[in-house]
Structure 1
Amino acid sequence: MILATDIQQLAVRQVQDYRARTPGTCFADAGFGLDVSEAYAVQDAMTKLRVAEGEHVAGYKVGCTGPGTTAQFGMAGPIRGTLFTDEIRDDGTVLVPEAFCNLAIEGEMALQIGHNGAIAAVFPVIELHNFVFRAPEKNLSELIANNGLNAGVMLPAKSWRASKTYLERPATLSVRINGEVFDTDALWPMPGGAGGSLDWLEDHLAAHDLQLSNGDLVLAGTTLGLYPVHPGDAITVYLDHQPALQCSIAQ
C-alpha cells in the first residue's frame, strides 16, 4: 500500500517527466509498481498539480477498449485519462516531433457533452500519444498513471463539431498515413456504442468523486490501432470517405 505522501511525490515526478518529454521514468525503476487504484490516485494528483499551475481540464478519454489497441498492448481496459485545454489543437496543425516522446496517433470518435450530461455532438478527432512503456511488461497501471499516454487532441472544423448525425448512423472511419489506409466500419469500440462509453465513464468518474461538465470533450475510444508517426508524415482522418481533419509532422 502506497502512502498519500508517496502518491504526491510520484505525481510531482510524473508531471516533471511529462514536461521534460520523458514520461513515466519511475516505471523503469527496479521493483517499482502500482496497482490500478494507486495509478488513478497518481493520475488525479497530477491533474491537481497541473490545474494548480494554471491548466484547465477539457474532458476525459476512454481508452484501451478496441481490438486494435488491446492487441497492441496485450491488455484490455477500459481506462480513463484526463484531457487538458492547452493540449487541444486545431485541424491542419503541423506537429513538431520534439514536443513528444515517440509520437503516435489514433483516429477515433469523440463526444461533446451538453446540458444534463447529454451527448450534444459526435465527431472524429486525432488523439496524440507519447507511445512509451518502460516497465518490463506492459500493464494497465503504467497506462493509467501515464494518463492513457495522452499528449493532446486535434479537433476538426467547427462544422463537424455541431452534429449528432453519426451517433446512430453506421459509417466508416479511416486513417490515412501518407499512402497507407487503415479503416473500420465500427465507429464505437464498446457495447452500446457512444452511450456505452459514456455510461462507463460516468460511473467511473463518480467512483473517483469526479463528474462531467457541460462542454466537456470525451474521447470514446477506437476500434483502430495506435500508429507511430515520423517527420514528414501526413495524416488524414476520414469519416464515410470524407476528409474530416488532418495534420502533418514537421521534418
Structure 2
Amino acid sequence: MTDNNRLATASNDDIAAAVARLAEASASGVPCAPVRDLIGRNDLAAAYAVQAALTQRRLAAGARITGRKIGLTSPAVQRQLGVDQPDFGVLFDDMAYTDGDALPAGRILQPRVEAEIAFLLRTDLADGPLDTAQVRDAIEYGVAALEICGSRIAWWDISLGDTVADNASAGAYVLGTQAHTLGQVEPVDVTMTMSIDGEEVSTGTGADCLGDPVEAVVWLARTARDLGEPLRAGQVVLSGALGPMRPVSPGSTVTATLSGLGAVTVGFSEGAAA
C-alpha cells in the first residue's frame, strides 16, 4: 500500500502509536481504546496511513490481498458518524470463507454481520475515467455475500478515523455460489433479507447501498487509484451493506437471501480462533 503519512496532519510518532495499539489488539484478542486520541476523528490521510502500515505488516507476515471492502455506504450510518462519504478496507486471503462454512467465533473480535453484493473484477481499474460504464464492464459477476465485521476497538466506540485505521472494521467474508453477470441481475434492484437462527433481523435493497452498489465500486475505484493502489483483475469487492448489520453469537447461523443471487449462509462455532 502507498505511504500517505506525507498527507496527514498527525505526526509520524502518533501514526506509529496507533498502528502499535491496533496491532496489539489484533494479536492479543483484547479490544483496545480508540485511536482518535492519536490521529484525530476525521483525519482521513492519517487514518489511511495507519491502515496502510497495518496492511504492510500483514503482507510481511505472508498474507495475500484478495480485494477490498467498502464501508459506510448507508446514509443512516454516515449521519451517525458525521461523514458524507464511504470508506474502504483491505481483504486478505485468510478472511475468505465459502457458503456453508463454520467460522470459529473467536476468529473475529466483536463480530457483526451484514449482507451485501460481492463483485469479482475481470479487468484492472487503474486507467481511464473509471466511470460507471467502465466499472460495469470490469465486473465479471456478482454473488450474494455476508461480511463479518469486527472491531479491534472496544465496544465499537468508533469515529471515522478509528474505523478507517482499523481496516474499515474488516473481519471475514463469505461468498455465495450463484454467480451472475450484470446482464442477468441488476444490483440496484436486488432485495435482501437476512436472518439469524431463522429470525429475520435485517432487510434492504441495492438502492440502500449508495443508491446503487455499482456506484459504490465507482467511488472505490477512483479512491483506490488516488491512493496509489488501484483495483486489479481477480480481486473481490464487497460493495457495502444492503441493510443494517447485526451482532452475532457463538452457535448462531446467519443466512442472507438476495433476489436473483440466491442465498449465502455461515455458522459460528463455539471454538476459539484457529
- Normalised by the size of structure 1, how large is the TM-score? 0.86
Which structure 1 residue ranges, 5 or more long, are not aligned?
none
Residues 72, 240 of structure 2: 8 Å contact kept: yes
Equivalences for 1:44-123 in 2 at 5 Å? 44-67=52-75, 69-70=77-78, 75-117=83-125, 118-123=138-143
Residues 116, 144 of structure 2: 8 Å contact kept: yes
- For 2:20 and 2:153, the matched residues in 1 are separated by 19
Q: Residue 163 in 1 paired to residue 181 in 2? A: yes
Deviation at 1:77, TM superposition (A): 3.2
Equivalent residue for 2:219?
200
Equivalent residue for 2:253?
234
- For 2:113 and 2:22, the matched residues in 1 are separated by 22
What is the identity, as a one-letter code, of the residue corresponding to 2:234? Answer: G
Deviation at 1:172, TM superposition (A): 1.3
- For 2:230 and 2:260, the matched residues in 1 are separated by 35
Say which SS state the counterpart of residue 214 (structure 1) adopts.
coil
Q: Deviations over 1:97-148 (max 9, x none)?
A: 2222211111111111112430111111110111464499631000101111
CA RMSD of aligned residues (A): 2.6
Equivalences for 1:139-178 in 2 at 5 Å? 139-157=159-177, 160-161=178-179, 163-164=181-182, 165-168=184-187, 170-178=189-197
Residues 64, 76 of structure 1: 8 Å contact kept: no
Deviation at 1:16, TM superposition (A): 3.0
What is the identity, as a one-letter code, of the residue corresponding to 2:103? Answer: L
Deviation at 1:241, TM superposition (A): 8.1
What is the identity, as a one-letter code, of the residue corresponding to 2:107? Answer: A
What is the identity, as a one-letter code, of the residue corresponding to 2:12? Answer: A
Say which SS state the counterpart of residue 243 (structure 2) adopts.
coil
Task: Provide closer, same or farther for how the CA distance between residues 155 and 32 of structure 1 changes in structure 2, counting only shifts above 3 A.
Answer: same
Task: Provide closer, same or farther for how the CA distance between residues 74 and 227 of structure 1 changes in structure 2, counting only shifts above 3 A.
Answer: farther
Q: Residue 42 in 1 paired to residue 50 in 2? A: yes
Task: Provide closer, same or farther for how the CA distance between residues 148 and 172 of structure 1 changes in structure 2, counting only shifts above 3 A.
Answer: same
Deviation at 1:10, TM superposition (A): 3.2
- Normalised by the size of structure 2, how large is the TM-score? 0.79
- For 1:249 and 1:154, the matched residues in 2 are separated by 12
Q: Residue 130 in 1 paired to residue 138 in 2? A: no
Equivalent residue for 1:190?
210
Residues 121, 161 of structure 1: 8 Å contact kept: yes
What is the identity, as a one-letter code, of the residue corresponding to 1:79? Answer: D
- For 1:136 and 1:247, the matched residues in 2 are separated by 22
Identical amino acids, percent of aligned pairs:
24
What is the identity, as a one-letter code, of the residue corresponding to 2:222? Answer: D
Task: Provide closer, same or farther for how the CA distance between residues 5 and 249 of structure 1 changes in structure 2, counting only shifts above 3 A.
Answer: same
What is the identity, as a one-letter code, of the residue corresponding to 2:245? Answer: L
Runs of 4+ in 1 over 6 A off after TM superposition: none
Residues 110, 219 of structure 1: 8 Å contact kept: yes
- For 1:241 and 1:196, the matched residues in 2 are separated by 19
Q: Deviations over 1:128-173 (max 9, x none)?
A: 111464499631000101111111111112xx23533223572311
Q: Deviations over 1:212-236 (max 9, x none)?
A: 1110111111230110011221111
What is the identity, as a one-letter code, of the residue corresponding to 1:140? Answer: L
- For 1:223 and 1:2, the matched residues in 2 are separated by 34
Tell me the number of residue pairs that the alignment of Structure 1 and Structure 2 aligns: 246
- For 1:122 and 1:235, the matched residues in 2 are separated by 20
